[in-house]
Structure 1
Amino acid sequence: MNRQLYAMHNTIRFVTDQPITEDEWQTIEQFFQYVDRQWSRFDPASEVSRLNGLMVGESLSVSLPLARLLQRAIRYFEQTEQYFSPFLLEQQQANGYDRSFPFQRGVESLRFESPPESSPFVVEGCDVTRVSHGTIDLGGIGKGAAAMLAAQRLRKKQPRGLIEAGGDVIVWSDTQPWKVAITDPQTEQAIAEVQLRQGAIATSNRVYRSWKVGQRTNHHLLSGKTGRPIETDVVQVTASAPQLYEAEVMTKLAFQMTEAERQDKLFKWFPKGRLLLMDESGKMVVEEKGGQSIWTG
């Protein structure tokens, strides 16, 4: 069975061997409607926007799913030495990403704040308190979290399923593995295939969410250290991991690190992870803990 809905500026696709009941589907739709309302940085009434509007010392009670997501995002921020940062909204806006996609041209801000080096927020239960400067942009980890929560619900009754959300894929199967195609960011033609029975895959590239600022091209992949678009010859990264949260974070780290840094840091933090990297020449390499090899299909 194949069903889909639109949320978080992406088509979310659900594939299961057995039909999803109408009651179950209605619950899933309502959950994604909640995510669209409350996790968006573009809606001034959302919980995320209200958190970003807090003054230092002020607190806000948020929904349990958002509180748990913030706790996880902060944990990855600290674990990865700020290579991954969910607190780059001001930097995204300063680089010209000040509206939802698609758009072709942006304007950079003359005022640029350095990214925070510690979490601007403290989460206690469902209460979130601002302790310093910095603003939240949940981005890919928010999309991944929503897909994971939906998968946790579905897999209680579905022995085999797949959820795909704009480059993020979660699969589970008691029988045959899933075959997930990886596409070229320019041509959208399949260039690789990953087989997976349980786990998650996240793919990110610097082509789709990019825009012109004068004669220069900016993209949405920012350095957690500088807040500026990452300069790299890596065009696309696909990461596989047991959980989609991990795969999402791995893609952001992989763009920022050299091969040596990935071996020294990334695979220390995510030892079960695996990367497929594509550079500007079209060459693809596979990386995992212990080394790198050329992708042969």
Structure 2
Amino acid sequence: MVVWRFEAIGTRWEIETADPLPPDGRAAVQAVTEHFDRRWSRFRPDSDVSRLRAAGGGFASDDAAPMLDAYRELSAATGGAVNPLVGESLEALGYDAAYSLVAGEPRPAPDDWTTRLEWSADALTMRGPATIDVGALGKGRLVDLVQRALADVPGTVVVDAGGDLSVRDGAIRVGLEHPFDASRAIGVATVGDQALCASATNRRAWGAGFHHVLDARTGTPVVAWTAAWALADEAMTADAVATALFFDGGPELAARWGVHWVRLSSDGRAQRSPGCPIEIFTPTRPDA
């Protein structure tokens, strides 16, 4: 396998293929990542999301409906803990465009997001200013888009965006990094023609107990769970479930969507979905 490494949307990507990607293949991937970033990044001053933050408005996008439809289910399943308008909550704790990492007072996200945002198959409109953050599932969506851009590449294709990955026409074994010690794994997953996505509180963390996984209802970081992994047919689905698993209602949503998962509690014990094929090395809690 040949590995192409590059940076996009603030993370390191690796694409593995049987043969080196030709220039037009790399160009297609770069076009997809740049287009998505220009639409959805709250860290870019020239993005559509940044423009809407100031005054509201709208933009054309065929990603809005898949992502926001999923957000509506995520929000309902978690009692409002997951919310695409959590951007200002993250910024209030220091995870802002300047990466100031200086925490202020927690700020709950607007709980009326489904009335502020309107979306269709090809557009998004927001009433009034607010800060969209699609981090709960956006990277997974982009992994799927990149995999689609490589649909004509023969053989096994692995798209890995900082640990959120998709495998086509093959299978790989992936260690689940322990959030307390990156040199250890809590288990191993075999990913074949599937996606595996992870979320952990040790990534994008700063200060004493501050990290990027927030409860939108309070604007404060979660504490009960420290990491979650989800296996699904598509990366966006896996990414969304990995986020939902930090909250009550996450396991039930995963069951409805047919997604297997593992999560690690703050006391270091693992829990997994019934029948989950992921091998676990660490002590476990009862199945959900």
TM-score, scaled relative to structure 2: 0.84
Q: Could you tell me which of 244, 250, 256 is aligned with 1:269?
A: 256
Matches within 5 A, 1:40-119: 40-55=41-56, 59-62=57-60, 67-80=61-74, 81=76, 82-99=80-97, 105-109=101-105, 112-119=107-114
Q: What percent identity do the matched residue pairs reach?
A: 20
Match for residue 216 of structure 2? 224
Secondary structure of the 1:43 match is coil
Match for residue 238 of structure 2? 247
Report the Cα offset of residue 99 of structure 1: 3.5
Could you report, residue by residue, the CA deviation over 1:75-122 in whole angstroms, capped at 9, with x for unpaired residues?
122223134322101111112212365x7x413147x35432332221
Report the Cα offset of residue 159 of structure 1: 2.6
Matches within 5 A, 1:141-156: 141-156=137-152
Matches within 5 A, 1:105-184: 105-109=101-105, 112-119=107-114, 120-131=116-127, 134-173=130-169, 176-184=170-178
Could you report, residue by residue, the CA deviation over 1:31-51 in whole angstroms, capped at 9, with x for unpaired residues?
323333332202222111112
State the distance in 2 between where 1:288 and 1:156 align: 36
RMSD: 2.6
Report the Cα offset of residue 190 of structure 1: 4.4
Contact 1:76 1:84 (8 Å CA) reproduced? no
Paired AA for residue 273 in structure 1: V
Q: 1:262 to 1:26 in 2, by over 3 A?
A: closer
State the distance in 1 between where 2:274 and 2:217 align: 24
Gap regions ≥5 residues in structure 2? 283-288
Paired AA for residue 70 in structure 1: A
State the distance in 1 between where 2:109 and 2:82 align: 15
Paired AA for residue 256 in structure 2: W
Higher mean C-alpha deviation, range 121-130 or range 155-164: 121-130
Matches within 5 A, 1:183-202: 183-191=177-185, 192-202=187-197
Contact 1:250 1:266 (8 Å CA) reproduced? yes
Report the Cα offset of residue 133 of structure 1: 6.0
**How many residues get paired?**
275
Match for residue 24 of structure 2? 23
Match for residue 238 of structure 1? 229
Are 1:280 and 2:281 an aligned pair? no
Gap regions ≥5 residues in structure 1? none
Secondary structure of the 1:98 match is coil
Contact 2:88 2:130 (8 Å CA) reproduced? yes
Q: 1:280 to 1:208 in 2, by over 3 A?
A: same
